[in-house]
Structure 1
Amino acid sequence: MAKINSLKKQNDFNRVFKTGEVFGNKTFVMYYLKNGSEANRLGIVVSKKVSKKAVVRNKIKRRIKEAYRLNEDSFAMGFDIIIIAKGSCQEEKYNNMEKSLKHLFYKKNLMRS
């Protein structure tokens, strides 16, 4: 499995936030936008509203990235995706986070057939 491509530049984040579509559930909010390439780029946002402790925020980021990596083959390609963690994410177990992430992609028809 290849390394996950990341959104790194502020301009890329701003473009997705301004012109992309948005959808959410109880754990995450997802912004997505077609990027014109053959790969997805993933951006993860966990604010201090979720937890003031960097250790907790980084743990949530690692869990989101791992859930994405394990399911990347079933997701449609060619999108810039930003996942924003909500406050309820702090208490969620990994399995529930993974199901929630899959739910976002399924509801917006971003799953491969």
Structure 2
Amino acid sequence: MNKAHRIKKNTEFQNVFNNGKSYANRQFVVYLLKKENQKNFRIGLSVSKKIGKAVKRNEIKRYIRQAFHEMYSYIDREYDYVIIARKPAAEMNFHQVKKSLEHVLKIAKILKKDYFKGNREEILD
């Protein structure tokens, strides 16, 4: 995921927190803020030191970026997303992280409906 797809500045994070909506499950909190005329979605990641050491935090961030990369064509592009990982995310592998993010994005009604068609197993309810 290139740098045009990332939120890096504190002011941008605060804008999403203060003006956006949040959705959560046990592993992640996702904040969304609609941005008109934005060509690509942007994501910001927050993984606390409470979750683990740098290696574990970076692994979780890699998993989240890869999950968004795989869901790229099914995600609404006019949004900024801030994803906060909670403690249970430290025990998850990539497939579990992706499934959990699918669950939160389904709750937020961000994933396009055709994402769940086909041979995919039903995600968490």
TM-score of the pair, normalised by structure 2 = 0.84
Q: Distance in 1 between matches of 2:47 and 2:18?
A: 19
Unaligned runs of 5+ in 1: none
* Residue in 2 that maps onto 1:77: 77
The within-5 A match list for 1:1-113 is 3=2, 5-36=5-36, 37-51=38-52, 53-113=53-113
1:100 and 1:60 map into 2 onto residues whose CA distance is 12
Output the amino acid matched with 2:42. R
Structure 1 residue matching 2:71: 3-state secondary structure: helix
Residues 19-50 of structure 1 show CA distances to partners (whole Å, capped at 9, x for unaligned) of 11001001100001001212100001101111
- Which contiguous aligned blocks of 4+ residues in structure 1 show a shift greater than 3 angstroms? none
Number of corresponding residues: 111
User: 1:3-34: per-residue Cα shift (whole Å, max 9, x none)?
Assistant: 36000111100000111100100110000100
Instruction: Letter of the 2:43 partner, please give it.
Output: L
SS at match of 2:5: coil
Please tell me whether Structure 1 or Structure 2 has the larger radius of gyration of its CA atoms. Answer: 2
1:40 alignment partner AA = F
What is the TM-score normalised by the length of structure 1? 0.92
